């Protein structure tokens, strides 16, 4: 029997045992579409989330990855990291601005335009991508022009790459143009307006996109929707990246460390303070910090410490509170409301910190500066029991020890006395009723 005859025999046997397996393709595995939902600013947390989601979707050979996005904008560096991951993706990435009332503003507009498919939910908007200076201070005219030209060139390249409206994309940067979902569809800024995920999958079914591996025709009509889980690590990072949380962590951390320095051995304030400061420093990497505001906060804390050591009659404390309040207001310099620290949080937090420094730490310093009671002097004020009559001297028992004591008045055996002084190895006592 030749080789070809053996192959034919195997085929015939498999056909007899399972007639459909040899004639029909394997359709047991349903197609999947992975979905990531994100609401918040564009920052390193979203960049890491998207990179992980793309890798997992590629590993699962999903038909597409959908990013449900609602953002007021965010950091340029994180935005570019997200776009790089999307362009390098082997599977189509769909950015779906959702839910109704959401937006893809500023950096979010760049991310949407970079997607293989851009979609919006009814009642959403996109645009207003004019670059702003972050990190403190105002950009001069030349620097502002450089920023605008760089951002305009970048968004033009993204729009050209995906076949979208280049003129509108440029106006979103240079003129802060914005559009509703209907206007964006008419202007060919986006590809689809979908009321929900099922509607989106139906509309993009059969659409051809170009990925890193070439053209690919989407087959999403009957695909299984798989939500990409956001792990606890990402959730924690997203939480502490909130400017309000980062601000509170910074003040808690600073207060805890200073409390530990002025009361060594407490341990708890130091440990909590160190953890809070480390988390705050991580969050500051994702926020547009104004270093003048940060220095004012440091100055305020230094003035609080000085107030504890120098009798300034409250002048240093008032200056510290003022510096802390102004520094808190200046700490984050951005036009994005989502990145600003709430004034309703700043005022009570500053007052609370002022109270902690003024009262708690002052008490700790007073206890440290008080003369230490060591040796036999610590017995002064303690109570003892007369072992025999004191008239005027006799033995007393105190803290399990027998001491010779002397009193200016008669003391009956068994009566309770209080130590008023220690003279060598003899105690001066008086009746406890007189204490």
| pLDDT at residue number 216 | 92
Query: Is the pLDDT assigned to residue 380 strictly greater than 50?
Result: yes
Interval 259-308: pLDDT, tens: 777 666 678 888 888 899 888 888 887 777 888 888 998 898 888 778 76
356 — pLDDT class (breaks 50, 70, 90): confident
- Structural contact between residues 278 and 254, judged by C-beta atoms closer than 8 angstroms: no
| pLDDT at residue number 122 | 96
Instruction: Classify domain 29-233 at the CATH topology level.
Output: 2-enoyl-CoA Hydratase; Chain A, domain 1 (3.90.226)
Identify the weakest region by mean pLDDT among 56-60, 131-135, 337-341: 131-135
Query: Is the pLDDT assigned to residue 331 strictly greater than 80?
Result: yes
What number of CA atoms fall less than 13 Å from residue 326's CA on the CB side? 10
Where in the chain are the domains?
A: 29-233, 242-366, 375-434
Angle, helices 141-162 vs 166-174, to 10°: value is 160
Interval 131-179: pLDDT, tens: 765 544 455 677 778 888 999 999 999 999 999 999 999 999 999 999 9
| pLDDT at residue number 366 | 62
Positions annotated as catalytic residues are 106, 146
Round to whole Å and give the CA distance between 81 and 424: 78
Round to whole Å and give the CA distance between 135 and 34: 35
| pLDDT at residue number 311 | 66
- Cα–Cα distances in angstroms (integers) from residue 340 to residues 39, 66, 170, 288, 327, in the given order: 16, 29, 27, 9, 13
| pLDDT at residue number 100 | 94
Q: What angle do CA 9, 20, 30 make, to 5 degrees?
A: 130
**Smallest Cα–Cα separation from 56: which of 31, 33, 40?**
33
| pLDDT at residue number 26 | 43
| Coil/strand/helix, residue 412 | coil
Regarding predicted confidence, which is higher, 24 or 333? Answer: 333
| pLDDT at residue number 135 | 45
| pLDDT at residue number 35 | 96
**Smallest Cα–Cα separation from 71: which of 31, 109, 103?**
103
Superfamily of domain 375-434: Nucleic acid-binding proteins (2.40.50.140)
Round to whole Å and give the CA distance between 216 and 206: 9
């Amino acid at each position: 029997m030749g080789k070809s005859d053996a192959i034919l025999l195997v085929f015939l046997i498999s056909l007899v045992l399972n007639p459909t397996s040899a004639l029909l393709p394997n359709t047991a595995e349903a197609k999947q579409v992975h979905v990531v939902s994100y609401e918040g600013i564009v920052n390193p947390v979203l960049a890491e989330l998207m990179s992980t989601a793309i890798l997992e979707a590629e590993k699962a050979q999903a038909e597409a990855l959908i990013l449900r996005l609602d953002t007021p904008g965010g950091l340029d560096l994180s935005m570019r990291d997200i776009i790089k991951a999307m362009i390098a993706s082997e599977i189509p990435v769909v950015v779906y601005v959702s839910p109704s009332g959401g937006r893809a503003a500023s950096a979010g507009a760049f991310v949407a335009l970079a997607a293989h498919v851009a979609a919006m939910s009814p009642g959403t908007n996109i645009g207003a991508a004019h670059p702003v200076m972050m990190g403190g201070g105002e950009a001069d005219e030349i620097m502002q022009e450089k920023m605008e030209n760089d951002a305009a060139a970048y968004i033009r390249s993204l729009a050209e790459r995906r076949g979208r409206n280049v003129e509108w994309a440029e106006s979103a940067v240079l003129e802060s143009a914005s559009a509703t979902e209907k206007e964006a569809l008419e202007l060919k800024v986006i590809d689809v307006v979908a009321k929900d995920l099922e509607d989106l999958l139906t509309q993009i079914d059969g659409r051809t996109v170009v990925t890193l591996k070439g053209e690919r025709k989407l087959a999403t009509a009957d695909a299984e929707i798989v939500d990409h889980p956001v792990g606890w690590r990402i959730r924690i990072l997203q939480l502490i990246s909130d400017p309000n949380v980062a601000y509170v962590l910074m003040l808690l951390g600073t207060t805890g460390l200073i409390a530990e320095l002025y009361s060594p051995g407490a341990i708890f304030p130091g440990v909590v303070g160190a953890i809070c400061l480390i988390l705050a420093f991580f969050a500051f990497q994702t926020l547009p910090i104004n270093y003048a505001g940060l220095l004012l906060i440091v100055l305020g804390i230094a003035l609080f410490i000085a107030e504890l050591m120098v009798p300034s009659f409250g002048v240093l404390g008032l200056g510290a509170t003022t510096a802390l309040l102004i520094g808190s207001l200046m700490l984050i310099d951005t036009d994005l409301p989502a990145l600003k620290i709430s004034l309703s949080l700043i005022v009570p937090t500053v007052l609370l910190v002022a109270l902690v420094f003024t009262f708690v730490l002052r008490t700790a310093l007073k206890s440290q500066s008080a003369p230490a009671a060591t040796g036999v002097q610590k017995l002064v004020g303690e109570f003892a029991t007369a072992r025999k009559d004191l008239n005027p001297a006799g033995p007393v028992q105190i803290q399990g020890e027998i001491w010779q004591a002397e009193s200016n008045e008669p003391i009956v055996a068994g009566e309770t006395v209080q130590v008023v002084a220690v003279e060598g190895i003899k105690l001066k006592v008086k009746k406890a009723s007189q204490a």
